[in-house]
Amino acid sequence: MSEITNSGWDVLDRAHQALRSTVAGVPAGAWRRPTPCAEWNVAQVLQHAAGDQLAYASAITGAPGPDFDPFAPSGALDRAPADLLDPALAASAAAWATIAPDAAQAPVPLPPHSLPPWLGSGAAALDAAVHAWDIAVATGQESPLTGALARDLLIVAKEIVEPLRQYGAYAPAIEAEDTGDVTALLHYLGRDPHWTA
C-alpha cells in the first residue's frame, strides 16, 4: 500500500511537498551545515520537522508520536533522510485526511491544543514549509516557498505565532520594509531572507 501524501488540506499538501523535495535535494555531505535555526544543523532541522509532523498526527489519532524529542534533535541520522521524513509526512497527511472541513475544532500538539481545522492544518503546514526553507538556504537550494504558499502561511502565522514566541518557537519579528510575500512571511517569523552561514 502506498503512503498517503494527500491530506485534502491544500496548504498542508503544498508544504509537505516543499519539505519532501527540499530534503531530497540535500547533497550527501551537507547534513552538518549550519541553518537559520542557530542551534541546529541541517540533520537536526530535518529531525525536528519530521518529529513535529508525527506530533500533529499523534494529536489527531492518538497513535504514538515521535520516539525522540523534536526540540532536542541529536543530528545523528540512523537511517536515510527519506526513511525518516516520508513516514512522518504520510502519518500527518493520513491524520489530517480524517478531519472534516466543517469540523469545529481539530486537536493539535501546540497551545491551545485545539484549533479550527483550517488553522490547525495550516499550523502543520507552516512548520513544514518554513523548515523546508531553512534546509534549502543552508544547502544552496532555491527557496521552496512560493509567493502563493507564503501568502497562505502568513495568514496562519498571524493567528498562531505571537503566543508561541514566549516558548522560543519563533524569534521576534524583524521590522523591515517587506518586498514580497516570501519576505513578509520570513520577517514575521523572525528569519532573515538573506541568511547565509
| φ, ψ (nearest 5 deg) of residue 7 | -85, -15
Distances 36 to 7, 41, 52, 186 between C-alpha atoms, Å: 28, 9, 18, 11
In sequence order, the 6+-apart residues with CB closer than 8 A to the CB of 129 are: 14, 15, 18, 19, 144, 145, 149, 153
Q: Which domains does the chain have, with CATH numbers?
A: 10-160 (1.20.120.450)
- pLDDT of the chain along its 197 residues, tens only? 346 679 999 999 999 999 999 999 999 999 999 999 989 999 999 999 999 999 999 999 999 999 999 999 999 999 999 999 999 999 999 999 999 999 999 999 999 999 999 999 999 999 999 999 999 999 999 999 999 999 999 999 999 999 998 887 889 999 987 689 999 999 999 999 999 98
**C-alpha 62 chain-centroid distance:** 20
Nearest to 20 by CA among 93, 78, 69: 93
